[in-house]
């Protein structure tokens, strides 16, 4: 039996989303077995492969009822080929085939059936035999077909089965049958499959996790919504596990491919939040590993990993296992898990779920244990587990303990917010609204729900109205609501003037109520929007916010200090920004607020990038991206930062993928603020890659969005110079001239001198395009001198100077500028820019002479090259030659360029020949 292959799916449009492409290994193979769980697309794949072979398809489809009835498969084959004489003869023989096959008469009948089946297959016209759901083919028919198919080696046979169980001697369709496991759909493929429902990226991700990429299961989950446009938000935790009927049927069929013992073990795994082999072995003994192997073969769990954790392929499988058992049985299983668990927090979780909450004393005890365990989980950084335990503590608190219930429910909302668990946040908020009549607590719950929901909430207006109603006569509460409305107006509605007015009103009410914490936050929001609008009082408003004391812990990304750091970044003061951000990073890490942590990491990444510390910027950006994805936050913000940093410090293709993902997410979430930013990142990357025509469209959309959002300050998002450069490159010079003039005028009026160097760089490119190379070179030289504190911007300006000098036929000056840019980019580990500078320098370096010799190296270059070729590190070379490491890096860059090499391995092979 050959090794199993894999089945790839090529998806370009919704109708093709479940039409697998025939793998290359199958071409020319006459016998193929497709296997995989129910709903994975075996029937569709078999049909597609049959059509690909170019022959009519003869389909057999045995059902569960046929398994125990001998020869039903052969009868179906005979009836399908009824017009043929051999088919009629086989059908008659089947009517006579009675008795025990082991008796002499039975054996003779079996031999006759084999002969007639072989004759029928040889007499049949050219077809492809497809046996769908071959796991239900009766054993008698399989035995006859195994023998008869050996006599028809040219007949293509495609069998589909739910699991692959190779028998001794090979598969009945042929000893050389090629087994292909159908894979699950990727998230992108699932988005195409579900496109008629117009799901958001978050909904696609949820359905992909829920279905494990099983197309039929995903469609059953989506169709259960009862809507043709838009999928509902994920339900609350107590509602979510209940699958719709069709989905339950599919999962039940999938579970039916394994034994009851396997299902019992998987049920135990479904009831634990992090099941592993050790835990399951303590529960059922050494057989656990063998049972898990069967579950893995059926595709129910992912292949075993080094951490031995058991992960369901589709979370719907675990949900079905957990909900199909009665409450009493479920509590008993949780009790078993509590005894077997070696982790105190998870032991408390299972003990809480095992308890009978009908007894108030038991309920109070388990609620206390759950609250205590939630605190331990929180300290360990396991915020999803903390959110679950906090909600359990609130749900099991007796209703007469209203104050304690509210306190625990609000804690659950905060825990859910930290890890982006909107369903649990909603459930906890609902507990407060149902059992506490205090306006302060009710407003706190509503605001916590708004904070937890972010861009995913579609009923914000109703919640705001409800909160305003609850806060009547309480200016302190009203101020908190107005502050949230200001944030919503700015981010979700792109209305900064409205946001500024709401924030100012919130600040006044909060100060009147002596709530200095809310007043500081409101003034921070007002200053943020004022900066966007170009109001001169923005810094004064921020100073007022910084001066107010705060009596409550504020998320790090909402503090005036964080905004001050952002303003320092806008003003090209990265050192000041970094000094302010580092303590905020510590605060965000300690509080466990995922969104605040991501925002501070993003700010640090952009700060380090502006300062030219690319390696640190890359580390911060990747941490922010990983945390954002793990916490289920909106992808837009982290993708924007990742695109900028990856594009400058690592790989352009990775950066482009981040920008496009951010654009898709922001369009679906209607987040105009970060849609602008991700579009800018995309245009900037395309421009840097030498694709100005492609860059023009996203950059022009940025201009339209910024105009719509009334963004006047050009330092907040610096798209202006890039758009002007793209316009120059495509020959729209007058438009570029107007844009540069308008932006220069605005920047001067607002005293945003930090924007001017980039405008001057593009103005120089415009001068060069019009033939004034002297003015362009002078302008670029002056601009580079003003950018010594921003190494990447200086390097980019030097690279532009090199291009300009080259166009002016001043090759020596062009080489000097390109070499300086390359050295600068290399020293700061801006690898994509360093590659661009190296390519520019390579075009300017002297070419090999007519006799093929390479340019000679200088004495310093030769010494560095010899040491590097011998395996010495840059630090070792610097120590031997008593020079700095940066000098070594710059020297080796020139060596690589001269010798047209790209690595030390190439240098080791080429240096001896080049130095002769």
Q: pLDDT digits over 544-562, tens only? A: 999 999 888 888 998 999 9
Distance CA 741, CA 616 (A): 36
Distance CA 811, CA 241 (A): 70
Summarised one tens digit per residue, pLDDT across range 218-277 is 999 988 754 433 444 434 344 445 788 899 999 999 999 999 999 999 999 999 989 999
Number of separate helices (H) and strands (E) present in the chain: 44, 6
Closest CA to 298 of 333, 271, 263, 270: 263
- DSSP letters, 831-869, are HHHHHHHHHHHHHHSPPP-TT-PPPPPPHHHHHHHHHHH
What is the model's pLDDT at position 452? 59
Distance CA 494, CA 752 (A): 23
Distance CA 689, CA 695 (A): 9
**Vertex 701: Cα angle to 700 and 703 (nearest 5):** 65
Distance CA 276, CA 242 (A): 24
The pLDDT-based confidence of 575 (bands split at 50, 70, 90) is: very high
The residues with which 35 forms a beta bridge, in sequence order, are: 161, 181
What is the model's pLDDT at position 196? 84
Backbone angles phi, psi at 53, to 5 degrees: -75, -10
What is the model's pLDDT at position 455? 45
The H-or-E segment that residue 414 falls in is helix 402-418
The pLDDT-based confidence of 341 (bands split at 50, 70, 90) is: very high
What dihedral angle (degrees, nearest 10) is formed by the CA atoms of 96, 97, 100, 104?
80
The pLDDT-based confidence of 692 (bands split at 50, 70, 90) is: very high
Work out the number of other CB atoms within 10 angstroms of the CB of residue 870. 11
Dihedral sign of CA atoms 709, 712, 713, 715 in order: positive
What is the model's pLDDT at position 227? 43
Summarised one tens digit per residue, pLDDT across range 773-786 is 999 999 999 999 99
- Interval 699-714 mean pLDDT: 93
Q: Is the pLDDT of residue 576 over 70?
A: yes
Q: Quick check: helix, strand or coil at residue 174?
A: strand
Distance CA 145, CA 142 (A): 5
Total residue length of the chain: 916
Place of tokens 């023009």: 696
What is the model's pLDDT at position 11? 33
Distance CA 14, CA 490 (A): 36
Q: Quickly list H helices, 752-858.
A: 756-769, 773-786, 791-807, 811-827, 831-844
The residues with which 181 forms a beta bridge, in sequence order, are: 6, 35
What is the model's pLDDT at position 24? 57
CA distances from 238 to 246, 450, 454 (A): 20, 20, 22
Distance CA 878, CA 798 (A): 26
Q: By mean pLDDT, which of 427-436, 564-573, 730-739 is the weakest?
A: 427-436
CB neighbour list of residue 555: distance below 8 Å, 6 or more residues apart: 588, 591, 593, 595, 596
Q: By mean pLDDT, which of 191-205, 318-332, 621-635, 703-717 is the weakest?
A: 191-205
Dihedral sign of CA atoms 203, 207, 210, 213 in order: negative
Structure tokens, 483:
């502050």
Residue percentage of the chain with pLDDT more than 90: 47
Q: Which residue has the higher pLDDT, 24 or 161?
A: 161
Distance CA 463, CA 50 (A): 55
Q: Is the pLDDT of residue 292 over 90?
A: yes
Distance CA 476, CA 507 (A): 10
Integer distance in angstroms from the first to the last C-alpha of the chain? Answer: 58
User: 133's torsion region: left (phi>0), alpha (psi -120 to 50) or beta?
Assistant: left
What is the model's pLDDT at position 491? 72
- Interval 801-828 mean pLDDT: 90
What is the model's pLDDT at position 23? 58
Longest CA–CA separation in the chain, Å: 106
What is the model's pLDDT at position 124? 87
Q: By mean pLDDT, which of 129-143, 483-497, 670-684 is the weakest?
A: 483-497
- Interval 127-151 mean pLDDT: 90
User: 166's torsion region: left (phi>0), alpha (psi -120 to 50) or beta?
Assistant: beta
Question: What is the 3-state secondary structure of 319-348?
Answer: HHHHHCCCHHHHHHHHHHHHHHCCCHHHHH
Distance CA 365, CA 397 (A): 9
What is the model's pLDDT at position 420? 67
The pLDDT-based confidence of 852 (bands split at 50, 70, 90) is: low
What is the model's pLDDT at position 516? 93
Q: Is the pLDDT of residue 12 over 60?
A: no
Rg over CA atoms, the chain: 34
pTM higher than 0.75, yes or no? no
What is the model's pLDDT at position 913? 54
Q: Quick check: helix, strand or coil at residue 561?
A: helix
The top-scoring range by mean pLDDT among 161-175, 566-580, 590-604, 833-847 is 566-580
What is the model's pLDDT at position 159? 92
Backbone angles phi, psi at 814, to 5 degrees: -65, -40
The upper half-sphere exposure of residue 515, i.e. CA atoms within 13 Å in the direction of its Cβ, equals 20
What is the model's pLDDT at position 872? 86
The pLDDT-based confidence of 493 (bands split at 50, 70, 90) is: confident
Q: Is the pLDDT of residue 801 over 70?
A: yes
What is the model's pLDDT at position 241? 53
- Interval 376-403 mean pLDDT: 89
Place of tokens 């890359």: 618
What is the model's pLDDT at position 778? 95
Q: By mean pLDDT, which of 236-250, 604-618, 762-776, 880-894 is the weakest?
A: 236-250
Closest CA to 860 of 877, 843, 844: 877
What is the model's pLDDT at position 5? 41
The pLDDT-based confidence of 205 (bands split at 50, 70, 90) is: confident
For the chain, give the mean pLDDT. Answer: 85
Q: Which residue has the higher pLDDT, 481 or 585?
A: 585
Structure tokens, 700:
């022009």
Asked if residues 285 and 209 have their Cβ atoms less than 8 Å apart, the reply is: no
Q: Is the pLDDT of residue 334 over 90?
A: yes
- Interval 570-585 mean pLDDT: 95
Burial class (CB in 10 A: 0-12, 13-18, 19+), 833: buried
- Interval 63-78 mean pLDDT: 89
The pLDDT-based confidence of 453 (bands split at 50, 70, 90) is: low
Q: Is the pLDDT of residue 17 over 70?
A: no
What is the model's pLDDT at position 457? 45
The pLDDT-based confidence of 439 (bands split at 50, 70, 90) is: confident
Summarised one tens digit per residue, pLDDT across range 93-108 is 887 765 444 444 566 7
Q: Which residue has the higher pLDDT, 850 or 391?
A: 391
Residue percentage of the chain with pLDDT more than 70: 89
- Interval 49-76 mean pLDDT: 87
- Interval 791-812 mean pLDDT: 92
Q: Is the pLDDT of residue 915 over 80?
A: no
Asked if residues 161 and 95 have their Cβ atoms less than 8 Å apart, the reply is: no
- Interval 190-212 mean pLDDT: 84
Distance CA 909, CA 903 (A): 10
CA distances from 656 to 31, 187, 623, 644 (A): 43, 18, 18, 9
Asked if residues 464 and 485 have their Cβ atoms less than 8 Å apart, the reply is: yes
What is the model's pLDDT at position 667? 87
């Amino acid at each position: 039996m050959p090794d199993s292959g894999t089945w790839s799916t090529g998806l370009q449009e919704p109708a093709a989303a479940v039409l697998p492409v025939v793998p290359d290994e199958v071409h020319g193979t006459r016998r193929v077995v497709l296997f995989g769980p129910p709903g994975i697309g075996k029937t569709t794949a078999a049909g597609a492969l049959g059509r690909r072979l170019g022959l009519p398809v003869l389909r057999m489809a045995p059902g569960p009822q046929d398994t125990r009835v001998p020869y039903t498969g052969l009868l179906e084959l005979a009836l399908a080929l009824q017009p043929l004489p051999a088919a009629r003869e086989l059908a008659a023989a089947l009517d006579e085939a009675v008795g025990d096959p082991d008796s002499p008469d039975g054996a003779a009948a079996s031999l006759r059936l084999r002969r007639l089946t072989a004759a029928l297959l040889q007499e049949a016209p050219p077809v492809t035999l497809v046996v769908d759901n071959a796991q239900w083919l009766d054993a008698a028919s399989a035995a006859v077909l195994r023998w008869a198919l050996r006599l028809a080696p040219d007949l293509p046979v495609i069998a589909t089965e739910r699991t692959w169980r190779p028998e001794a001697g090979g598969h009945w369709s042929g000893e050389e049958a090629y087994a292909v496991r159908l894979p699950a759909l990727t998230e992108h493929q699932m988005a195409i499959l579900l496109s008629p429902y117009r799901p958001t990226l978050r909904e696609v991700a949820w359905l992909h996790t829920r279905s494990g990429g099983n197309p039929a299961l995903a469609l059953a989950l989506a169709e259960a919504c009862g809507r043709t446009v838009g999928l509902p938000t994920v339900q609350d935790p107590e509602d979510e596990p209940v699958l719709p009927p069709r989905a339950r049927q599919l999962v039940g069929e999938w579970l039916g491919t394994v034994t009851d013992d396997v299902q019992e073990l998987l049920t135990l795994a479904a009831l634990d939040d992090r099941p592993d082999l050790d835990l399951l072995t303590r529960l059922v003994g050494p057989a656990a590993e063998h049972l898990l192997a069967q579950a893995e073969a059926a595709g129910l769990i992912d292949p075993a990993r080094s951490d031995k954790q058991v992960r369901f392929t589709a979370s719907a499988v675990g949900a079905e296992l957990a909900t199909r058992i009665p409450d009493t049985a479920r509590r008993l299983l949780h009790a078993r898990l509590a005894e077997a668990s070696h982790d105190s927090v998870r032991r408390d979780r299972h003990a809480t779920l095992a308890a009978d909450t009908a007894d108030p004393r038991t309920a109070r005890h388990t609620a206390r244990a759950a609250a205590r365990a939630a605190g331990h989980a929180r300290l360990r950084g396991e915020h999803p587990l903390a959110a679950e335990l906090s909600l359990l503590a609130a749900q099991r608190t007796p209703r007469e303990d209203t104050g304690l219930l509210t306190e625990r429910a609000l804690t659950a909302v905060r825990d859910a917010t930290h890890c982006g668990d909107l369903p649990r946040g909603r459930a906890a908020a609902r507990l407060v609204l149902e059992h506490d009549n205090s306006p302060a607590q009710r407003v706190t719950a509503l605001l916590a729900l708004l904070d937890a929901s972010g861009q995913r909430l579609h009923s914000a207006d109703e919640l705001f109205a409800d909160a305003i109603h609850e806060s009547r006569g309480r200016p302190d509460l009203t101020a908190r609501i107005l502050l949230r409305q200001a944030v919503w107006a700015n981010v979700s509605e792109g209305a900064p003037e409205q946001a500024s007015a709401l924030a100012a009103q919130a600040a006044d009410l909060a100060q009147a109520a002596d709530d200095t914490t809310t007043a500081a936050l409101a003034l921070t929001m007002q200053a943020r929007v004022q900066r966007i609008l170009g109001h001169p009082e923005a810094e004064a408003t921020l100073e007022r916010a910084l001066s107010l004391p705060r009596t409550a812990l504020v998320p790090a990304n909402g503090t005036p200090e964080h905004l001050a750091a952002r303003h320092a970044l806008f003003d090209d003061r990265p050192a000041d920004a970094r000094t302010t951000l580092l303590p905020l990073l510590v605060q965000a890490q300690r509080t466990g607020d995922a969104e605040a942590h991501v925002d501070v990491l993003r700010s640090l990444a952009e700060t380090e990038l502006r300062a030219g510390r690319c390696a640190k910027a890359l580390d911060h950006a990747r941490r922010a991206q990983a945390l954002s994805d793990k916490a289920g936050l909106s992808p837009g913000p982290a993708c924007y930062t990742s695109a900028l940093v990856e594009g400058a410090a690592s790989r352009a293709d990775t950066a482009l993928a981040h920008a496009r993902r951010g654009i898709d997410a922001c369009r679906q979430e209607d987040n105009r603020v970060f849609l602008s930013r991700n579009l800018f990142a995309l245009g900037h990357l395309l421009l840097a890659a030498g694709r100005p025509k492609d860059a023009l469209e996203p950059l022009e959309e940025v201009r339209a969005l910024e105009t719509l959002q009334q963004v006047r300050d050009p330092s907040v998002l610096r798209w202006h110079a890039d758009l002007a450069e793209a316009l120059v490159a495509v020959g729209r010079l007058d438009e570029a001239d107007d844009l540069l003039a308008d932006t220069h005028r605005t920047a001067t009026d607002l005293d945003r001198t930090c924007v001017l160097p980039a405008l001057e760089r593009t103005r120089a490119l415009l001068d060069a395009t019009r033939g004034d190379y002297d003015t362009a070179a002078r302008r670029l030289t002056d601009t580079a001198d003003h950018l010594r504190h921003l190494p990447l911007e200086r390097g980019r300006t030097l690279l532009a100077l090199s291009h300009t000098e080259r166009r002016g036929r001043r090759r020596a000056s062009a080489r000097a500028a390109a070499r300086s840019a390359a050295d600068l980019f290399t020293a700061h580990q801006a690898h994509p820019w360093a590659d661009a500078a190296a390519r520019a320098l390579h075009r300017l370096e002297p070419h090999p002479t007519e006799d093929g010799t390479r340019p000679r190296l200088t004495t310093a270059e030769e010494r560095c090259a010899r040491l590097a070729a011998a395996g010495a590190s840059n630090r070792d070379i610097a120590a031997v030659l008593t020079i700095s490491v940066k000098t070594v890096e710059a020297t080796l860059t020139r060596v690589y360029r001269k010798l047209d090499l790209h690595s030390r391995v190439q240098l080791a092979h080429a240096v001896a020949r080049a130095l002769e």
